[in-house]
Structure 1
């Protein structure tokens, strides 16, 4: 999934992963869109940010 980095935050999305390319000050996400996976997750512990890209 190709995702652009923007100069604005995704409304309602907080991200505390400061090693992510899209992480912004204040724990915001500056990706144009995000992907949460996997499809058949049954709990929050099974979910994952598919948009994560290491800085």
Structure 2
């Protein structure tokens, strides 16, 4: 991001190759084929197994 204009810019391929080992390779938007796991409703029982302190 350009700090003065706050506009995003493309990363050159050379820089992308240098930084690629540090990126987590995962898909940000789930598709219907991959998103088949149901999220349980939050209750007192399920709240004990959730992670805290993430933010």
TM-score greater than 0.5 by the shorter chain: no
Q: Which has the larger radius of gyration?
A: 2
Q: TM-score range by the shorter chain?
A: under 0.3
